[in-house]
Amino acid sequence: MTLSYITYNYKEAKAKPESLGRNNLKYKIIVSSFLMLLLFVINGCDIYDIFSGGGTNFAPDSFQISIQRTHNSLQGQRESVEITLDNNTIDEFLLGGFDLMITYDASALTFQSVEQGQFLTNCGWEYFTVRHEIIEADSTNIYAVRVVSIADIYPPIQRPVCFTPTDSSTNQLVVLNFLVTNDRAYECSYSPIQFFWGDCGDNMMSDYSGNQLFVSRFIYNKLDTGTVDYFRNLAEESIFPSIAGFNSSCDSEVEAYSGNVIRKIDFVNGGIDIVCADSIDTRGCSRGDLNNNNVQFEIYDVILYSNYFVYGMQVFSVNIDCQIEASDSNGDDLTLTLADFVYSIRVLVGDTLPFGEPSNINATFQHDNAGKISVVDSIQIAAAHIVVEGEVTPTLLADNMTMGSAFDGSNTRIIVYSLENNNFIGDMVNVGSNTILSIDAADYLGNQVILTEVN
């Protein structure tokens, strides 16, 4: 098993042993920092009376740690997933720390960051660290995130004010942030996020004293309704690495601790439900309503759309996720395209009804020595979008059309269109000798015109 690491430390100057072996469970626990408190006691460190507030070190029958299951998550956008300690029965039981390992589908999700949960920040827990791991197993890369947090460490930086979710008014341990793929093959699909075991030392939780260490008992999934499927326990005998929990290979080491390592945690897997394209309208993001004022295909939507091609994403300031989805005017599941823009104009002037069935058309263009850009084929072009390297002042050549342009600091963005639903054939604009970085167009019917340059 080969690991590669990207480490994020949210607390500085924390002593942590580096030379202890991974295979011995006792050492693994120390590396995970769950028995560090015992070392402090042995060394005579001053640990204040944690039970003075009525706390107890008697554990409940079980704990439940759950990963959230999101719904209708948008593609190409960030999604946050909570990990929570869900038991309502722990009350005064004092927690000391946890070590969690979570795996995810890297083809659908890109890991971005982890945040401390409100329980940790409200209580002032002193140590929190994250490590991203890529694990090679059976010629397959497993992408995982390890999160370790400790309530109270030595030397003390500050004393935590609470050790239970009851006292902090929230049960949120961790927030994971992912970028959801924009690949349309994943629309209307579910991407699981699961607890993962690489060895006996993964997915543990300790009490404050460090004397009791809790490991997996049962493992469940969440149903698409968000409720837990308690009728299907996924914990089973399985060799590491696995998603099946603490296995029997660890039992001999557990026995060596005379019961101090206890199977008490029920883990609940979650994940991200990626929204179905045909259900987006029901979420309030109506097609053609780019300004999100609940009026589709009005003049303001079309003007906002034209501004996007000149000034970029900064024009969307109301609800960017919703505005992007609303840009799919023609219902082809592609957003922010010229075909959508032209289709919006046609609906605005009453030339068509939403929604048609667009297609792609192949055509060619020339950029001659005089700087003139022309469409070679005899196609009625209703809109064109060009990005030119550097700063230029374009000249409009097409009759009965409107042109807009802006320099973004690196390139010049140009759009040619008509709010009167006009179109042109042939000459488009003159941009001089500057290099054309991209060009696309749409025809009178709202079909996407894929342009290829010819000499």
| Residue 344 counted as domain residue | no
Nearest to 268 by CA among 422, 28, 68, 123: 68
Does 366 share its domain with 283?
no
pLDDT computed for residue 6 by the predictor: 39
Does 104 share its domain with 118?
yes
**73-86 confidence digits (pLDDT tens):** 888 788 999 999 98
| Residue 355 counted as domain residue | no
**Distances, alpha carbon 60 to alpha carbons 57, 63, 93, 264, 290, in Å:** 9, 7, 8, 8, 52
Give the residue-averaged pLDDT of 184-197.
Answer: 93
Rounded Cα–Cα distance for residues 409 and 423 (Å): 30
pLDDT computed for residue 201 by the predictor: 84
Checking if the pLDDT of 287 tops 90, the result is no
| Residue 85 counted as domain residue | yes
pLDDT computed for residue 253 by the predictor: 65
Report the range of poorest mean pLDDT among 259-273, 287-301, 386-400. 287-301
**DSSP code of 89?**
S
- Name the token pair of 368: 């001659």
Does 16 share its domain with 58?
yes
Range of 262's domain?
A: 3-274
Does 439 share its domain with 319?
no
pLDDT computed for residue 360 by the predictor: 81
Query: Do residues 323 and 292 lie in contact, with contact meaning Cβ atoms separated by under 8 Å?
Result: yes
pLDDT computed for residue 266 by the predictor: 93
Does 188 share its domain with 58?
yes
Does 309 share its domain with 444?
no
- Name the token pair of 312: 């970029």
Give the residue-averaged pLDDT of 93-108.
Answer: 92
Does 139 share its domain with 79?
yes
| Residue 236 counted as domain residue | yes
Q: How many CB atoms lie within 10 A of CB 224?
A: 10
Which SS3 state, helix, strand or coil, does residue 272 take?
Answer: strand
For the chain, the domain total comes to: 3
Give the residue-averaged pLDDT of 212-239.
Answer: 85
Does 266 share its domain with 298?
no
Give the residue-averaged pLDDT of 353-372.
Answer: 80
Rounded Cα–Cα distance for residues 320 and 77 (Å): 10
pLDDT computed for residue 383 by the predictor: 93
The per-residue DSSP string of 292-361 comes to -SS--S-HHHHHHHHHHHHHGGGG--S-HHHHHHHT-TTSSS--S-HHHHHHHHHHHTTSS-S-----EE
Q: 65 versus 230: which is more confidently predicted?
A: 65
Query: What is the pLDDT of the chain when averaged over all its residues?
Result: 79
Count the residues in the chain. Answer: 455
Residues 6 or more apart from 121 whose CB is under 8 A from it? none
Compute φ and ψ for 301, nearest 5 degrees: -65, -45
Checking if the pLDDT of 99 tops 50, the result is yes
pLDDT computed for residue 218 by the predictor: 92
The number of helices, as runs of H, and strands, as runs of E, in the chain is 8, 22
Query: Do residues 176 and 145 lie in contact, with contact meaning Cβ atoms separated by under 8 Å?
Result: yes
Give the residue-averaged pLDDT of 446-450.
Answer: 85
pLDDT computed for residue 46 by the predictor: 37
| Residue 259 counted as domain residue | yes
Which SS3 state, helix, strand or coil, does residue 134 take?
Answer: strand
Checking if the pLDDT of 18 tops 70, the result is no
- Name the token pair of 98: 């946890």
Most confident option among 308-322, 349-363, 387-401: 387-401
Does 400 share its domain with 304?
no
pLDDT computed for residue 291 by the predictor: 86
- Name the token pair of 290: 């780019």
CA end-to-end distance (rounded Å), the chain: 54
Instruction: Give the torsion sign (CA, 88, 92, 93, 97).
Output: positive
Residues 6 or more apart from 309 whose CB is under 8 A from it? 338, 341, 385, 404, 413, 415
Report the range of poorest mean pLDDT among 22-36, 64-78, 296-310. 22-36
Rounded Cα–Cα distance for residues 269 and 83 (Å): 10
Tokens 């996924």 belong to which residue? Answer: 234
Nearest to 14 by CA among 125, 109, 164: 125
| Residue 419 counted as domain residue | yes
pLDDT computed for residue 386 by the predictor: 94
| Residue 230 counted as domain residue | yes
Checking if the pLDDT of 377 tops 80, the result is yes
Does 85 share its domain with 72?
yes
Q: 41 versus 195: which is more confidently predicted?
A: 195
Does 110 share its domain with 229?
yes
- What is the enclosing helix (H) or strand (E) of 149? strand 140-150
Which SS3 state, helix, strand or coil, does residue 42 take?
Answer: helix
Nearest to 263 by CA among 62, 33, 86, 66: 62
| Residue 338 counted as domain residue | no
Compute φ and ψ for 347, nearest 5 degrees: -65, -40
Checking if the pLDDT of 112 tops 50, the result is yes
**149-182 confidence digits (pLDDT tens):** 999 876 666 778 888 876 556 889 999 999 998 8
pLDDT computed for residue 399 by the predictor: 93
Give the residue-averaged pLDDT of 29-50.
Answer: 37
Checking if the pLDDT of 95 tops 90, the result is no
Output the domain CATH number for residue 77: 2.60.40.680
- Name the token pair of 91: 């009350």
Tokens 């209580």 belong to which residue? Answer: 123
> pTM to 2 decimals?
0.55
Does 112 share its domain with 259?
yes
Q: How many CB atoms lie within 10 A of CB 378?
A: 8
Tokens 């946050």 belong to which residue? Answer: 80
Grade residue 430 by pLDDT with cuts at 50, 70 and 90: very high
